[in-house]
Structure 1
């Protein structure tokens, strides 16, 4: 599925792993139900809740042109306590 782009690994998302929360960048047109279904089918986990947000636009200079990079939506997925996604390091 090309709606889930990639997992996000930052300092904040690594702290969220301790609380069994995982963060992914997804396509702007994807909704929560599609992403939830895909995560549950692909990773064989139980999703308890999901939060989504769009990070603010930031200007970026590419040569002489001033523009905006490609937009995305970020999903924070909360799993049940006895599940984990194997893409990340275990605690």
Structure 2
């Protein structure tokens, strides 16, 4: 697995935006990736970023129905990445003005 394939997209929710103040960033990652892969990928993707720790969560799909048909939304893996104090911040929305 390539490092560019590990981190898929940032998770933009109210809870994850509150974590940015504590230097915690939330990403959706490949389900096969482990904590070491995620740390290496984040440090390679963003310049000057040092990762202190990585917490991972496997999120199960929710039960959904459309009329009489039932199914599940897709499963995914979520990683909460905590940065060190001397690390640069990650700019998720481009340059801040």
Runs of 5+ in structure 1 lacking a partner?
none
The correspondence for 1:81, drawn from 81, 85, 89, is 85
The whole-number CA distance in structure 2 between the counterparts of 1:64 and 1:19 is 44
Counterpart mapping for 1:12-91 below 5 A: 12-44=15-47, 45-62=49-66, 64-82=68-86, 83-88=88-93
Deviations 1:17-72 (A, max 9, x none): 00010000112111111111011011021000111112243101256431112211
Q: 1:61 to 1:11 in 2, by over 3 A?
A: same
CA contact (8 A) 2:61 2:72 kept: yes
> Normalization by structure 2: what TM-score?
0.80
CA contact (8 A) 2:24 2:81 kept: yes
Aligned-residue CA RMSD (Å): 1.8
Runs of 5+ in structure 2 lacking a partner?
none
The whole-number CA distance in structure 1 between the counterparts of 2:32 and 2:66 is 26
Shift, 1:11, TM fit? 0.9
